[in-house]
A and B are shown apart, each in its own frame.
Chain A
Amino acid sequence: MIREVLGREPNSLELALYGVMWSEHCSYKSSRIHLRRLPTEGAHVLVGPGENAGVIDAGDGIAVAIRIESHNHPSAIEPYQGAATGVGGILRDVFTMGARPLAVMDPLFFGELSDARQRWLVEGVVSGISGYGNSVGVPTIGGELTFDDCYASNPLVNVLCCGALPTERLVLGVASGVGNLAVLLGSSTGRDGIGGVSVLASAGFDGADGAESLDDAKRPSVQVGDPYEEKRLIEACLALLDDGLVVGIQDLGGAGIVCATSETAARGGVGMDVDVSAIPLREAGMEPFEIMTSESQERMLAIITPENWDAVAKLCAKWEVRATVIGHVVEPTIDENGRAVAMLRVRQGFDGEILAEVPASSLADEAPLYDRPMSRPADLDAINADDPSDDEPVGSPNDDLLDLLVDPAWVYRQYDSQLFLNTVVGPGRDAALLRLGGPGLPYSERGIALSTDSNPRWCALYLVDRR
């Protein structure tokens, strides 16, 4: 497929770019055909799927941006950093839309606490959420807490972020304007999280050798978070947007720079030249494929006009946020059929050697889509026929009922749930209720109720024997 797109053999750097961008995590290649069936339009929907977060119009000049995602596999390997960077990633998805993150929720699913490894996971995940979320200054207002053996080797660590913005500040992750600059904001780029989307997030943990096998070898693929960097990045980015200094902005998460540059270029229908030697690095001797695919945290890509560079640099300096021009928006390339193709070019120096040249949309949007085989689980009829009300109660139903109760206060006490003075109903209830207010928002008496809920007993994972 890649040969067809390029009309030639890809070089090793190009292959690495496709490797991460066509991972399940980045491309949704197995789930997209199913997700497409969901309704996505409505009178209040300002931004539907395909951008960094969905945005709805809440009235009174306020829009609400919301996104939920999982950070399961990093958390299974390194619970503190896995959960912490899950929070960091979801915040970036929301403030990249121009919204101030106002609330986080964390639905968590673990194996039974009688197992020491599960206790290590739970404590690590909860302190990761607490350590990152509290410090970055976004309240964590609820979630879910479920224990079942089926999550023992694969805990589920989901994270939701809800933010709000004055409707006119809405901004999309689009590159436009030939001659504009692509500016990398935030942390330097290191070797952490290379291949995170493909090695980790898209792999299964279904090996016969169990949980022990997934630790050490994969730990270098887990990213490391710095909430203080993220806090300054939030403030700097929202200030850049308030001052109208940004044409488009995109967070760097899974698949790092290649993802952010190819997605913004593909959406804008423009080419992008990225100078791999301009990117500030944390360590010497990094290969171009490492630089392009690193998942170092707390980075954003802003597209700005050259005239605004001085103002952007000054504002970033105030917040002690590093800002570096790493690319240029360029004209699309005209192919042999006369069609304009938005090319992502990775170069060594802005006028230097071209190390990779691929159509941006082929990375961002044109991954192969799979319609995976579906079949009815063989034991479904037996499960449906098994009516527990037929059974005589064993033991004490009263005690069983009490056993089902979990007081999650020991978890949510570790989360700042009150910042921004919005929390009317906090964690531990059916839903959290927030006033819709916060720094930079117009006054409103509206509120928003948020809940995450699932029916874990209605779902099961069936492993398909691929041999």
Chain B
Amino acid sequence: MSRIGVVVFPGSNCEYDAAAAVERLGDQAEFIWHTRTDLDGIDGVILPGGFAHGDYLRPGALARFSPVMAAVERFAATGGPVLGICNGFQVLVEAGLLPGALQKNRGLTFLCQPTTLVVSSTSSVLTRHARVGQELVVPINHFSGSYTCDDETYDELVRNGQIVLRYKENPNGSRDDIAGVANKAGNVVGLMPHPERAMSALLGSADGVVLFEGFLGVPLEQPALAN
């Protein structure tokens, strides 16, 4: 059983939901207060959604300076799996652990709605159990989720297979329909949609399960499918 650290900043609000998704798959979730400086004994880290430090200045801009982020950076550098969901993605981008930036949505309103994601790459801890081209229904819930990056970065993302998830129908104006990206090594992933909200058909979708199973390293019952 893995021990997954769920980082809690003042203003985070999806920490309980992220922990519930981890526990649903049989792993252990542990809240990590943002002032902690170590991640001893932790097997994976989730930065959950919410409004860390009130999203003041801009989303993630203050959270990157929380003491825990230095530990997250060290953890990521040693290959530890790190997942940023929504506000957590914004924090990872601000911290420089993932490339690009997240702008206000095209249309300039908050959007809470289901989206269909298309798996674009399986070379990340989040998508390693999915198939390229697989469609997953996962809700979004954000104001600043329009992914952007310069051309050089974009070419590199494409070349390395770092674009892991795309929107089937672009809700927010993201460049090339990008919904989630990974670092070059594939152990740090960020996405704007909320897979922890897609863990139960009763609540609309269970398509987030395949993503969490990948992240938690749940062994596949059958060998990974070739692309």
> CA–CA, A407 to B21, complex, Å?
33
Contact A231/B10 with A134-B110, A414-B110, A418-B141 known, Cβ cut-off 8 Å: yes
Contact B56 A231 (CB under 8 A): no
| Interface check B88, CB cutoff 8 A | no
Contact check, A418 vs B203: say whether CB atoms are below 8 A apart. yes
Q: Does B43 contact A (CB under 8 A)?
A: no
B39 within 8 A of A: no
- Asked if B14 is at the interface of the complex by the 8 Å CB criterion, the answer is yes
Which residues in chain B, 35-59, are within 8 Å of chain A measured between CB atoms? 50-51, 53-56
B17 within 8 A of A: yes
Q: Are the C-beta atoms of A421 and B200 separated by less than 8 Å?
A: yes
CA distance A131 to B143 in the complex (A): 9
From residue B161, how far is it (CB to closest CB) to chain A in Å? Answer: 30
Q: How many residues of B contact A (CB 8 A)?
A: 29
Mark contacts of A412-426 with chain B using CB atoms, 8 A cut-off: 1 yes-contact digit, 0 otherwise: 111111111101100
Contact of A413 among B51, B109, B196 (CB under 8 A): B109
B55 with A135: CB separation less than 8 A: yes
- With A231-B11, A232-B10, A232-B11 as given contacts, are A417 and B112 in contact (CB-CB < 8 Å)? yes
Cβ of A228 and Cβ of B203 under 8 Å apart?
no
Report the bound CA distance from A319 to B143 in whole Å: 25
Closest Cβ of chain B to A438, distance in Å, is 8
Query: B17–A423 contact, CB under 8 A?
Result: no
Q: How far is the CA of A4 from the CA of B10 in the complex (A)?
A: 50
B50 near A228: Cβ-Cβ < 8 Å = no
User: Could you say which residues of chain B place their CB within 8 Å of the CB of A235?
Assistant: 10
Q: Are A413 and B16 in contact (CB under 8 A)?
A: no
A446 vs chain B, min Cβ distance (A): 14
Q: Is chain B's interface secondary structure helix, strand, loop, or mixed overall? A: mixed
Assess A416 versus B54: contact at CB under 8 Å? Given A228-B11, A231-B10, A421-B20. no
- Total contacts A to B, CB within 8 angstroms? 78
Q: Is B111 at the interface (CB under 8 A from chain A)?
A: yes
Q: Which residues of the partner chain B approach A415 to less than 8 Å between Cβ atoms?
A: 110, 112
Bound-state CA distance A232–B55 (Å) is: 13
Q: Within 8 Å of chain A (Cβ to Cβ): is B197?
A: yes
Contact of A421 among B17, B50, B55 (CB under 8 A): B17
B119 to chain A, nearest CB (A): 22
A119-154: CB near B (< 8 Å → 1, else 0) gives 000000001001100111100000000000000000
List A421-453 residues whose CB lies under 8 Å from chain B. 421, 423-424, 438-439
Task: Assess A228 versus B141: contact at CB under 8 Å? Given A414-B111, A419-B17.
Answer: no
Report chain B residues within 8 Å CB of A421.
17, 20, 196-197, 199-200, 203
Complex Cα–Cα for A131 and B142 (A) = 11
Contacts of B13 in A (CB 8 A): 136-137, 231, 419
The verdict on A243 contacting chain B, using a C-beta distance below 8 Å, is no
Contact between chains at B10 and A320 (CB < 8 Å): yes
Interface membership of B139, Cβ < 8 A: yes
Residue of A nearest to B171 (CB): A413
Which parts of A223-239 form the interface with B (CB within 8 Å)? 226-228, 231-232, 235
Which of the residues B17, B50, B199, B200 comes within 8 Å of A420, measured between beta carbons?
Answer: B17
Of A137, A417, A438, A439, the contact of B50 (CB 8 Å cutoff): A137
A93 CA to B55 CA in the complex, in Å?
25
> Which residue of chain A is the closest to B53 with respect to CB atoms?
A228
B134 within 8 A of A: no
- Is B110 a contact of A130 with CB atoms below 8 Å? yes
> C-beta contact mask, B1-43 vs A, less than 8 Å → 1, else 0?
0000000001101101100100000000000010000000000
A419-B17, A421-B20 known; A228 vs B51 contact (CB < 8 Å): yes
The answer to whether B197 and A418 have CB atoms under 8 Å apart is yes
Across the interface, which residues of B come within 8 angstroms of A439, CB to CB?
16
- B113 in the interface (beta carbon within 8 A): yes
Which chain B residues lie closer than 8 Å to A414 at the CB level? 109-112
Q: Shortest beta-carbon distance, B16 to chain A, in Å?
A: 5
CB-based nearest A residue for B54 = A228
For the complex formed, measure the closest distance between the CB of B213 and the CB atoms of chain A, giving whole angstroms.
18
Q: Does B225 make an interface contact (CB < 8 A)?
A: no
Instruction: List the B side residues contacting A231 at CB < 8 Å.
Output: 10-11, 13, 51, 54
B220 within 8 A of A: no
Q: Please provide the chain B residues from 129 to 143 with a CB less than 8 Å away from any CB of chain A in the complex.
A: 139, 141, 143
Q: B139 — which chain A residues lie within 8 A by C-beta?
A: 418
In the bound assembly, the distance between CA atoms of A439 and B14 in angstroms comes to: 11
Contact B54 A135 (CB under 8 A): yes
Tell yes or no: B202 within 8 A of A by CB.
Answer: yes
Chain B residues within 8 Å of A131, by CB:
110
Interface centre among B17, B112, B202 (most CB of A within 10 A): B112
Q: Which residue of B lies closest to A140 (CB)?
A: B112
A319 to B10, CA, bound (A): 7
Shortest B174–chain A CB gap in Å is 17
In the A-B complex, the 9 residue pairs with the closest CB atoms: A228-B54, A137-B13, A414-B110, A135-B51, A439-B16, A130-B110, A416-B112, A416-B141, A421-B17
8 additional A-B pairs beyond A134-B51, A231-B54, beta carbons within 8 Å, are A130-B110, A134-B143, A137-B50, A415-B112, A418-B203, A419-B14, A421-B197, A439-B16
Residues of chain A touching chain B, judged by Cβ–Cβ distance below 8 Å, are 127, 130-131, 134-137, 226-228, 231-232, 235, 318-320, 412-421, 423-424, 438-439
Please name 16 pairs of A and B residues whose Cβ atoms are closer than 8 Å in the assembled complex, sorted by A.
Answer: A131-B110, A135-B55, A136-B13, A227-B51, A227-B54, A228-B11, A228-B56, A231-B13, A319-B10, A414-B111, A416-B110, A416-B141, A418-B139, A418-B203, A419-B141, A421-B197
